[in-house]
């Protein structure tokens, strides 16, 4: 299985009240991040069989926007294992349900996403990997411990797109 772990896109300033914070949606920058990261996944020819998201609004919006851009026709599934109180054990149980799938995109929150990623690739949580908002990590789950193939964030994606717009050929005069 190729597991894609994604941190939700930018949803602005956190709210003090947990009930209000859970309803916090993406801001314009977050929506732009979703489109950019979906284009990156498309460029990498990523095939997604199922998308699973935290029940919080910002994670659901991120999952739906990325899924729409990728042409994903299924429904985004919701899992409390990806919520703010999700544990690694909950996360493992959730992954077990999708073990027969080839490409799984999960969308959640920090610190859970980088902790889950660290546990997956080290087996003991010894890795601390920073995941900025809208970052996506590809993990090959067919290895033990799992193998981190790549991690990309919107800053890198913008730099990649900016560099592809320029010709790599040297300018020469045709006299």
User: What is the DSSP code string of 94-132?
Assistant: HHHHTTT-SEEEEEE-TTHHHHHHHHHHHSSS-------
- pLDDT confidence band for 148 (50 / 70 / 90): very high
CA distance to 31, 108, 131, per residue, from 36 (Å): 9, 18, 16
How do the domains of the chain map onto residue ranges?
2-164
Tens digits of residue pLDDT in 96-114: 999 999 999 999 999 999 9
Instruction: Please give the average per-residue pLDDT across 123-141, as a whole number.
Output: 89
Per-residue pLDDT at 78? 98
Tens digits of residue pLDDT in 2-45: 999 999 999 999 898 888 888 999 999 999 999 999 999 999 99
Tokens of 66: 């990325």
Per-residue pLDDT at 166? 58
Give the separation between CA 138 and CA 150, rounded to whole angstroms.
Answer: 5
What pTM did the predictor assign?
0.90
Q: 2-164: which CATH architecture? A: 3-Layer(aba) Sandwich (3.40)
Tens digits of residue pLDDT in 36-92: 999 999 999 999 999 999 999 999 999 999 999 999 999 999 999 999 999 999 999
């Amino acid at each position: 299985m190729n597991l894609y772990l994604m941190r939700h896109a930018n949803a602005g300033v956190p709210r003090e009240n947990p009930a209000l914070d859970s309803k916090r949606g993406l801001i314009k920058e977050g929506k732009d991040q979703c489109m950019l990261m979906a284009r990156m996944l498309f460029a990498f020819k990523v095939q997604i069989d199922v998308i699973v998201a935290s029940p919080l609004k910002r994670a659901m919006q991120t999952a739906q926007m990325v899924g729409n851009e990728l042409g994903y026709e299924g429904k985004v599934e919701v899992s409390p294992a990806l919520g703010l109180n999700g544990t690694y054990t909950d996360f493992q149980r959730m992954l077990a349900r999708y073990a027969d799938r080839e490409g799984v995109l999960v969308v959640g929150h920090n610190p859970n996403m980088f902790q889950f990623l660290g546990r997956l690739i080290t087996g003991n949580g010894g890795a601390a990997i920073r995941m900025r908002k809208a970052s996506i990590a590809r993990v090959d789950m067919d290895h033990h411990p799992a193998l981190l193939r790549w991690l990309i964030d919107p800053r890198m994606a913008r730099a990649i797109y900016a560099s592809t717009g320029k010709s790599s050929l040297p300018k020469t005069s045709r006299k």
